[in-house]
């Protein structure tokens, strides 16, 4: 899996992703982003290589099977889906964290031969 995220930080603060949430037709799925993430210290501009794990009904994360991967890609391609990326700052002591706003949020997910481009909203994790 490769996940590419891009968003402009109005306070020039760097962020990395924690989870990916997709909501479509009243159903919400949460995926933990696991892997090595390269990032920029002035914005949300990341490249993650690793895995996604889906949260199950017991609020635990587990590996995804092929049907879950195909469902995720289908939902990301659907413009009616709402995608939220939970992020946290690279520098937790950065000034202006509580006032920052991220704009122009776009992402790309590649799993095997499957690719999905999507827009997203951000949610601050632990702030």
Q: Tens digit of pLDDT for each residue in 10-32? A: 999 999 999 999 999 899 999 99
pLDDT of the residue at 118: 97
Q: What is the mean pLDDT of the chain?
A: 93
Where is pLDDT greater, at 59 or 34?
34
Where is pLDDT greater, at 42 or 59?
42
CA pair distance 84, 5, nearest whole angstrom: 12
pLDDT of the residue at 56: 80
CA pair distance 84, 68, nearest whole angstrom: 18
Q: Tens digit of pLDDT for each residue in 58-73? A: 888 889 999 999 999 9
- Residue from 38, 36, 34, 35 nearest 53 by CA: 34
pLDDT of the residue at 92: 85
Q: What is the DSSP letter of 112?
A: T
Residue 35 reports pLDDT greater than 80: yes
CA pair distance 118, 75, nearest whole angstrom: 10
pTM of the model: 0.92
pLDDT of the residue at 126: 64
> What integer is the mean pLDDT of 106-115?
95
């Amino acid at each position: 899996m490769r996940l590419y995220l891009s968003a402009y930080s109005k306070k020039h603060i760097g962020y990395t992703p924690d989870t990916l949430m997709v909501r479509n037709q009243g159903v919400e799925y949460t995926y933990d982003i696991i892997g090595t993430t390269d990032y920029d210290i002035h914005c949300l501009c990341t490249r993650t290589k690793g895995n996604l794990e889906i949260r199950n009904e017991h609020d635990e994360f587990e590996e995804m099977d092929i049907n879950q991967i195909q469902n995720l890609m289908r939902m990301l391609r659907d413009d009616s889906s709402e995608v939220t990326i939970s992020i946290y700052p690279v520098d937790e002591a950065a000034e202006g964290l509580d006032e920052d706003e991220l704009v122009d949020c776009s992402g790309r997910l590649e799993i095997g031969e499957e690719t999905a481009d999507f827009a997203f909203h951000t949610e601050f994790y632990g702030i």
